[in-house]
A and B are shown apart, each in its own frame.
Chain A
Amino acid sequence: MTHVLEARSLVRDYHIPGSLFRKARTVHALKGVSFAVDEGKTLAIVGESGCGKSTLGRIITLIDPATAGELLIDGRKVDIAREGLTSEMRRKVQIVFQNPYGSLNPRQKIGDILAEPLVINTKVPAGERRDRAMTMLKKVGLEEKHYNRYPHMFSGGQRQRIAIARALMLNPKLLVLDEPVSALDLSVQAQVLNLLADLQDEFKLTYVFISHDLSVVRYIADDVMVMYYGEAVEYGSRDEVFSNPQHSYTKTLFAATPRADVASIKARLARKNAA
């Protein structure tokens, strides 16, 4: 069985051109990352800010090309730097961004935002586009009356639902979620995560879930990859990684997660009193 997404030692360098007072230098954002995701599964990519998570996300979404390495989607090799991109490939991967306030065009109505991918990639007539947009709108928990509104009339959680709906309009196999809930408050986070889980079952979606929030990752992921300075320091199934972290960075990361259960609070108080 082929993997929906497979990466073989992806490398991405950014060249910063030198100026009069500075030498040119190269930033290695990704230093050879390999992984594979099967259909219907979720791979969570965890790491601190600036560790290359989002760079990886942009490469998987075919926005930026990788400097070296191979990217296979549905068993087919993709190289946008050399061959460009067919609309068929484009339709297989979609993305949901972190900031729901910047990812929707403020001058477009919701209906137009949802229909735009269909207008660009398919020859579906206007009536059917409308129907499909309506159906998707209801699938993500919004109502028909929202169809003619503008993005600024929605709350953050609703906007993220719209962004998810837009990503699903082309029936992609793979959805890259770039910290989709980190800009939302906790109750809305739970709603959106549940929505994502439901949609995954319904459409047999494969998720690449980029996050820094371990509790969210523990909830949604099948596999976990921990990144540190452009390298994958830990990669395995969720239970393996959470129960038996190997790398020291992963251990630090888990230790840094705030705990609120009674035992750990008591232990902390005991330590504090002892000191």
Chain B
Amino acid sequence: MTEVTAASPISTDPSRRARLAEFWYYFSENRGAVIGLFFFLFLVVLALCAPLVAPHDPTVQFREAVLLPPFWQEGGRLEFLLGTDAVGRDMLSRLIYGTRFSLFVGVIVTTLSLSSGILLGVIAGYFRGWVDTVIMRMMDIILAFPSLLLALVLVAVLGPGLTNAMIAIALVFQPHFVRLTRAAVMTEKTRDYVVAAKVAGAGHLRLMFRTILPNCMAPLIVQATLSFSSAILDAAALGFLGMGAQPPTPEWGTMLAEAREFILRAWWVVTLPGLAILLTVLAINLLGDGLRDALDPKLKRS
């Protein structure tokens, strides 16, 4: 057959490994994304191994070492590398344990809002009509409020605490996923392969989740990474306002809130948690940007 030679010149190897290699090729062209990825992996390892890495228990108070500066400053001790806070807890240990909470918040919020958003979005985009109208107007209502304000109200209703804060943030983020999914489903739905599956006898559920949804995943993956970082930021904001994680939980936002009064006397108790939030969010944003570029076929320069 003469057509065989005319097959796609880019890659004829069907294996997952080859596709992964291709993905990595495009992803690694973006240096910021690679740095973000490695920093993120570093955070994950840190969170997993927190008890092994942290020099002290994050909640133990050393009464003889209150508000010690980091070790390189006058009066700092090597025992407490990044100093201690107002009640004598080791900053480094608290930051390391704080990684756990931040990543936990990110994972849970993203999973919650992603799964519920995809479900609603696919239903709205697939069935259209009044179902679509009802779902989308509800999402518009959620979107009409400033996100942090709505989260604050929800937490005020549900009661303060990390779990409720996560639920509130997930609810606030959900409309973005719904809209994104709906738009993607609407474009894919009219494609011939969907009609072909319909002619083959596929039912609604199969069409929605087996045929259409896998073809809508690229923008969703990117939005998920981006909302991962926003979730951490919002959780920190809620913690700072006293509505998120409650003391003595070593959550970064809560740590910031506790340290507020020492902002002039002891810079490290405020700066270090803030820096941790900044770096984490920056790394994940870079990662998300890189993913978007690598997954978008239009940006592929071959």
Give 1 or 0 for each of A99-115: 1 = CB within 8 Å of chain B CB: 10011111101000000
A149 partner residues in chain B, CB cutoff 8 A: 12, 14
Count of B residues near A, CB < 8 Å?
Answer: 26
B201 within 8 A of A: yes
Do A121 and B201 form a contact, CB below 8 Å, given A148-B14, A150-B14, A158-B3? yes
Name A152's contact: one of B8, B192, B206 (CB within 8 Å): B8
Q: Which residues of A contact B6 (CB under 8 A)?
A: 155
Closest A residue to B213 by CB, please name it.
A107
Interchain CB contact under 8 A, B201 and A87: yes
Query: Which of B3, B14, B196 meets A155, CB within 8 Å?
Result: B3
Tell me which of B1, B198, B202 contacts A141 (CB under 8 A).
Answer: B1
In the bound complex, CA of A170 to CA of B201 (Å): 11
A94 neighbours in B (Cβ, 8 Å): 199-200
Mark contacts of B5-49 with chain A using CB atoms, 8 A cut-off: 1 yes-contact digit, 0 otherwise.
011100110100000000000000000000000000000000000
Partner of B199, one of A95, A107, A109, A153: A95
Given A90-B199, A116-B197, A120-B202, A188–B3 Cβ distance below 8 Å?
yes
Q: Answer whether A106 and B215 are a contact pair too, CB < 8 Å, given A120-B206, A158-B3.
A: yes
Please encode chain B, from 183 to 199, with 1 for each CB lying within 8 Å of some chain A CB and 0 for all others: 00000000111011111
Q: B7 contacts which of A63, A153, A188 (Cβ < 8 Å)?
A: A153
Q: Is the CB of B75 closer than 8 A to any CB of chain A?
A: no
A213: shortest Cβ distance to chain B, in Å? 20
CB-contact partner of A153 in B14, B196, B200, B202, under 8 A: B14
B211: Cβ under 8 A from any A Cβ: yes
Choose one: A106, A158, A163, A187; the contact of B196 (CB below 8 Å). Answer: A163
A154 on the interface (CB 8 Å rule)? yes
A63: which of B2, B193, B195, B214 is its contact (CB, 8 Å)? B195
Given contacts A61-B199, A105-B197, contact A99 B192 (CB under 8 A): yes
Are A63 and B215 in contact, CB atoms less than 8 angstroms apart?
no
B3 touches A97 (CB 8 A): no
Chain B residue nearest in CB terms to A109: B14
Closest Cβ of chain B: how far from A147's Cβ, in Å? Answer: 9
CA distance A117 to B198 in the complex (A): 10
Q: Which residue of B lies closest to A149 (CB)?
A: B14
Complex: chain B residue closest to A110, CB-CB? B14
Taking the complex as formed, is A157 at the interface, i.e. its CB lies under 8 A from any CB of chain B? Answer: yes
State the A residues within 8 Å of B (CB). Answer: 61-63, 87, 90-91, 93-95, 97, 99, 102-107, 109, 116-117, 120-121, 141, 143, 148-150, 152-155, 157-158, 163, 166, 170, 187-188, 191
Interface pairs (14), CB distance under 8 Å:
A63-B195, A63-B199, A90-B199, A94-B200, A97-B192, A102-B192, A102-B193, A103-B192, A103-B193, A116-B197, A117-B201, A120-B202, A155-B8, A158-B3
- By Cβ-Cβ distance, the 5 closest A-B pairs, closest first, are A103-B192, A117-B200, A102-B192, A105-B193, A107-B214
Q: CB within 8 Å of A: which residues of B?
A: 1-4, 6-8, 11-12, 14, 191-193, 195-203, 206, 211, 214-215
